Amino acid sequence: MPDARLWLLWALTTLLAATAARNPLYLFLLLLVVLLVGVTTAPAGRRRAALLPLRFAALAVPFAALFNGLTAHLGDTVLCRLPAWLPLLGGPVTLESLAYGAINGLALTVILGAFTALNQTVPVRELVRLAPRAFHEAGVVLAIALTLLPQTAQAVARIRQAQAVRGHRLRGLRDWLPIYLPLLVSGLERALALAEAMVARGYGAVSERAQPLPLRALLTMGLLGLSGGWLTWLFVPNRAGIAAGTMVAGGALLVGAMVIAGRSTRRTSYRPRRWGIRETMVVLGCGLALAAALTGHPSLAYAPYPRLSWPPFDPLVGLGLLGLLTPALVNGSGSEGR
Amino acid sequence: MIRLERLTFTYAGASAPALQDVTLEIPAGAFVLLAGPSGAGKSTLLRCLNGLVPHFSGGTLRGRISVFGHDPAGEGPLALSRVVGFVFQNPEAQFVLDRVEDEVAFALENLAVPPAEMRARVTEALDLAGLTPLRDRLLETLSGGEKQRVAIAAALALRPRVLALDEPTSQLDPQSAEEVLEALVRLNRELGLTVVLAEHRLERVLPYATQMVYLPAPAAPLLSGPPRQVLPHVPDVPPVVALGRTLGWDPLPLTVAESRIAYRVSLIAYRVSPVACRRLQRADRRRGRGLGERRSTLRNRRHVTRNTQHVTRNTQHATRNTRHATRNTQHATRDTRLTLRGLCFRYDQTPVLRDVSLEVAAGELVVLMGRNGAGKTTLLKCIVGLLRPQAGMIALDGEPLVGRETADICRCVGYLPQLPDDLLFADTVAEELAVTLHNHGLLDRPPIAPDELLARLGLAELASAYPRDLSVGQRQRVALGAVTVTAPSLLLLDEPTRGMDYAAKAELLRLLRSWQAEGTGVLLVTHDVELAAQAADRVVLIEEGRVCADGTPAQVLTSSPGFAPQISQLFPGRGWLSVEDVLRGWETACR
């Protein structure tokens, strides 16, 4: 499933479900789903990294349980008492507060798992390409910046080594100067070289012309409307309706300007996004999970207070959450590298 | 057709023009070798062809340029990007995306080429550059030669009529460079693409060039024409051309194959042509030999050439044995500076060095060669403690180095990394040396007076210059000064001649020789086989982390086809590596 939009939808749905659910049974189910999707869709050689959330859970769950146990003194099953003079910590430590902390840790693990799977499968550049066409130039700049980040990290390591062979030792902040200066200069040189290469390859050839006057007028009016409405809402009492209307109109003008600007940006894509049965299935799966998470079913909002009890489980909700498994089910090869 | 008429270009703020009054014609479909020393204006000339000069660089341009009917100075680089494909020295510096196919398609996406046509063009460009099997690969997983071919494919996707390349093989090993050049020759011959290629290592490109343009110095008049016409006026030429010039071979051979024919013809010609003998005589005189001493030799040469096959076979043994004997004697009497025993190193689970053992004696220059990724740089990093080997022993003058801090080791070991710019950050050349002394706590009692070292490096007059303003060769020498100011007993140099012209290389060689004479051991990593043939006392060949050959240059270089210098290819099995060896060998035979 190479389409970044679908992955984004899947990750956001998982995020919503993990935020909505406090029932550990559903959270366990979500964690299993996320791990399964991560492992089956990660490129070959990165499958072990897809299990990273488990290592996170080993730390996050006990830490969250301990933190909540020491700070939230609710629940009937008192395990021990800390002296009352201890600020924040003083009071009973209950089984319920420990359990609730652990549940929060589990929810965090699910969210991390979803974004780990997203990160493993979709290159950041693909996500940047989701930006509207009007922001194409900004998207390219961001994509290059993302490429330069690992290169800069490599340059730091290289320059540190080069300075070490001159007897340089890193002891304090001032010792970073021999690393920072060559890094800055080489970074600038690299940026210039890249700019020269991009110009030589025709980058910017189709966006040289200035934006037409109506578009600029539209942008100006939109910005004026938005800021004027906001100022009215802030400083003119009893004019909230007018303020809201002005802001909506300004926003609409801005969106219109962006659509027009996007249409005037001539650009094609080497990897056009295609819609097929797999993509539809993922959307349906996410829709199912979203419906299950947002129905407000009482079993979702489980709370261990005042006394810890076995959480309820509704098979229909569970089945709905299993909709998030669709990326794993429709995944073709899963071996494509990033 | 490319036409430059009275082109003069001066960079903004420069006192003198980089190009002056250049008039040049390049016919369509030509394969042009652009040669000349560093700073002569090769890169500037190339950038004039696609309008990067003056549009990107700034500066003042006078004169006229026409590239297949386009005016780069007027139309600018964006318009010319469809006519002139440009490939830079470092492929990594020009990559925008991370996957082969995406990188090739990048320019087409920006030009809004329809997707169907784009796919066809990408496929065509990958096919032409021989990259079809690698189209899905990530760029970071490719070798240097493959990356440079991706850069070429990215330029080809725009279907240009001219391909301009600025030293595209300078960072590649001989095999990778050959891959790139073969791709260019295919494009030139099969598609009629005009190729204009700037290069220092003429021996790599001369076999393919139909036209040579030589820029002798900034603002000096250029020489242009078929290589055979231009080469006699070029001071530094590849060994087979130098031999041909010395012996008066006509037509002047450009390749080893042509030299073989010229050599066979000369065997007959010596018998009938006194001119050839006179040329030999002149060559000897240039080498500082007395005419009287030579006369009998020259007389004898006629006899020798009649029996060449027999005599040279004997000579070969004699030369090889003499070299062996001399080197073995030297080796036995010298102290061992560096000892490596059973060195193993792995990155994660990938073995990079496997059981490497070698020695460098005092005053010995050992050249370490091998393909990109063979483990050469890793070996040097292990020696100076930047990487910790998993097994093995490293000792300097008998003292173990493993476990010691890099800063501590580098007081006795000078290590020059591949990119000298990573070392330089001070405001002046003199300060660069002072920083190293300060780091080692030697500022008050320097082992060598910094002024003396600067004079020795030929940098005395540049002591107050900003290091990054200097030329490639000068920056390399500043970096060398920064790592040798502690008077190390061992020098490790990682590809110090990348991007250097012949003069800068000769200067570096002179310096190394002077350090050797003082007992400094030198371990030099290079891809430059001619430099290895010229400089090495011993050559170590490393392949996939293992030492696969260790011996005299004559033994190692002549037995490794990928690393054989031109002279050894011309006279296989005779142990000759340079023009001097050939002349000396014949002289021995004449005696």
With beta carbons less than 8 A apart as the criterion, state whether A114 and A327 touch. Answer: no
B425, B476, B484, best to mutate vs chain A, most A CBs in 10 Å? B425
Please indicate, yes or no, if residue A192 is contained in any of the structural domains.
Answer: no
- What is the least distance, in Å, from the CA of A278 to any CA of chain B? 23
Q: Is the per-residue pLDDT at B271 higher than 70?
A: no
Alpha helices in B428-562 (DSSP H): 429-439, 450-456, 472-484, 502-517, 529-535, 553-559
* Residue A225 belongs to domain spanning: 218-264
- What is the least distance, in Å, from the CA of B78 to any CA of chain A? 5
Q: Is the per-residue pLDDT at A24 higher than 60?
A: yes
Residue B587's pLDDT band (cuts 50, 70, 90) = confident
- Same-domain status, A30 and A54: yes
What pLDDT score does B274 carry? Answer: 54
Q: Is the per-residue pLDDT at B582 higher than 90?
A: no
Q: Does B126 contact chain A (CB < 8 Å)?
A: no
- Domain ranges in chain B? 2-232, 245-329, 331-571
What pLDDT score does A293 carry? Answer: 87
Lay out the sheet containing B336-347: strands in order across: B350-361, B336-347, B391-396, B399-400
Distance CA A209, CA B404 (A): 61
Q: Does A208 contact chain B (CB < 8 Å)?
A: yes
Structure tokens at B144: 């240097």
| Total domains present in chain A | 2
Residue B321's pLDDT band (cuts 50, 70, 90) = very low
Rounded mean pLDDT of A45-59? 83
pLDDT tens for B560-581 read 777 889 998 888 888 888 888 8
**A263 against B261, higher pLDDT:** B261
pLDDT tens for B176-227 read 888 889 989 988 998 899 999 999 889 889 999 999 999 988 777 899 999 9
Distance CA B489, CA B519 (A): 7
Q: Is the per-residue pLDDT at A278 higher than 70?
A: yes
Q: Is the per-residue pLDDT at B298 higher than 50?
A: no
- Same-domain status, A123 and A49: yes
**A119 against A97, higher pLDDT:** A97
Please indicate, yes or no, if residue A121 is contained in any of the structural domains.
Answer: yes
Please indicate, yes or no, if residue A292 is contained in any of the structural domains.
Answer: yes
CB contact under 8 A, B407 and A267: no
- Same-domain status, A291 and A324: yes
Please indicate, yes or no, if residue A34 is contained in any of the structural domains.
Answer: yes
ipTM: 0.79
What pLDDT score does B273 carry? Answer: 53
User: Is the four-CA dihedral B515, B521, B526, B532 of positive or negative sign?
Assistant: positive
- Same-domain status, A259 and A279: no
Residue A304: burial class (beta carbons within 10 Å; 0-12, 13-18, 19+) = buried
pLDDT tens for B131-153 read 899 988 888 788 777 888 899 99
The CATH number of B331-571 is 3.40.50.300
Report the run of H or E that residue B399 belongs to, with start and end.
Answer: strand B399-400
Q: Where among A236, A264, A292 does a domain terminate?
A: A264
- What is the least distance, in Å, from the CA of A205 to any CA of chain B? 5
What pLDDT score does B314 carry? Answer: 43
**B76 against A143, higher pLDDT:** B76
Strand B391-396 versus strand B399-400 pairing type: antiparallel
CB contact under 8 A, B78 and A205: yes
Please indicate, yes or no, if residue A144 is contained in any of the structural domains.
Answer: no
The CATH number of B2-232 is 3.40.50.300
- Same-domain status, A123 and A233: no
Please indicate, yes or no, if residue A45 is contained in any of the structural domains.
Answer: yes
CB contact under 8 A, A193 and B98: no
Q: Is the per-residue pLDDT at A27 higher than 60?
A: yes
Q: Does B388 contact chain A (CB < 8 Å)?
A: no
CB contact under 8 A, B108 and A272: no
CA distances to A255, A293, B201, B378 from B170, rounded to whole Å, are: 51, 60, 8, 21
What pLDDT score does B295 carry? Answer: 41
Rounded mean pLDDT of B311-319? 43
A46, A160, A163, A165, best to mutate vs chain B, most B CBs in 10 Å? A165
CB atoms within 10 A of CB B573: 12
pLDDT tens for B448-505 read 999 999 998 889 999 999 998 887 788 889 999 999 999 999 999 998 988 788 888 8
- Same-domain status, A8 and A43: yes
What pLDDT score does A211 carry? Answer: 64
CA distances to A306, B106, B408 from A169, rounded to whole Å, are: 58, 42, 10
> What are the chain B neighbours of A159 within 8 Å (beta carbons)?
422
Cβ neighbours of residue B13 closer than 8 Å, sequence gap 6 or more:
none
What pLDDT score does A266 carry? Answer: 67
In chain A, beta strands by DSSP E = 78-82, 91-94
Please indicate, yes or no, if residue A169 is contained in any of the structural domains.
Answer: no
Q: Where among A242, A264, A286 does a domain terminate?
A: A264
Structure tokens at A268: 């094609």
Q: Is the per-residue pLDDT at B312 higher than 90?
A: no
pTM: 0.74
Count of residues in chain A = 338
Q: Is the per-residue pLDDT at B288 higher than 60?
A: no
Q: Is the per-residue pLDDT at A208 higher than 70?
A: no
- Same-domain status, A115 and A14: yes
At B393 the three-state DSSP class reads strand
Cβ neighbours of residue A48 closer than 8 Å, sequence gap 6 or more:
none
Tokens 């130039």 — which residue? Answer: A137
CA distances to B173, B301, B498 from B533, rounded to whole Å, are: 15, 26, 17
CA nearest to B78 within chain A: A202
Closest CA to B105 of A268, A265, A208, A199: A268
Please indicate, yes or no, if residue A282 is contained in any of the structural domains.
Answer: yes
> What are the chain A neighbours of B116 within 8 Å (beta carbons)?
none
Share of chain B above pLDDT 90, in %: 48
Residue B294's pLDDT band (cuts 50, 70, 90) = very low
